[in-house]
């Protein structure tokens, strides 16, 4: 919940106390997925720095990168790409982060994802 609501100070306290970075809820969302979904780039960076699994997917097959792209969070997308998130992951609807961003008209995110794809 700290990652979802952007409470970085609480998140760091939990992580420093040894909280499981990769624990998941009933939807199989991890703290990283929840932080990315809300566009909490600082929390995403903290979780990645501590070793969170960047490519976990939830019960719908959505990764943190797909959530960030779908919701228009360019800074979070950039943080995930810098952490080597797999942009080729497809969810249960065969949607990648690029497709999610294209469908919603997020041109900046589309360009970011295309630049990674071309490497």
Q: Where are the domains of the chain?
A: 8-117
Whole-number pLDDT of residue 6: 55
The tens digit of pLDDT for each residue in 30-59 reads 999 999 999 999 999 989 998 899 999 999
Domain 8-117 belongs to what topology? Answer: 1.25.40
| DSSP secondary structure letters along the chain | -TTTTT-HHHHHHHHHTT--TT-B-TT--BHHHHHHHHT-HHHHHHHHHTT--TT-B-TT--BHHHHHHHTT-HHHHHHHHHTT--TT---TTS--HHHHHHHHT-HHHHHHHHHHHT-
What pTM value is reported for the model?
A: 0.84
Residues of the chain with pLDDT under 70: 1-20, 23-25, 117-119
Contact 40, 71 (CB under 8 A): no
- Residue 20 and residue 27: Cα distance in Å, rounded? 17
- Which residue in this structure is represented by tokens 């939830």? 58
């Amino acid at each position: 919940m700290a990652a979802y609501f952007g409470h970085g100070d609480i998140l760091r306290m939990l992580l420093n106390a040894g909280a499981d970075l990769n624990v998941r809820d009933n939807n199989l969302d991890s703290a990283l997925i929840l932080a990315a979904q809300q566009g909490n780039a600082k929390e995403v960076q903290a979780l990645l720095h501590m070793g969170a699994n960047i490519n976990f997917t939830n019960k719908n097959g959505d990764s943190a990168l797909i959530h960030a792209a779908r919701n228009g969070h360019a800074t979070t997308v950039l943080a995930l790409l810098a952490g080597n998130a797999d942009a080729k992951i497809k969810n249960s609807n065969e949607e990648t982060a690029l497709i999610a961003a294209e469908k919603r008209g997020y041109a900046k995110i589309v360009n970011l994802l295309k630049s990674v794809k071309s490497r």
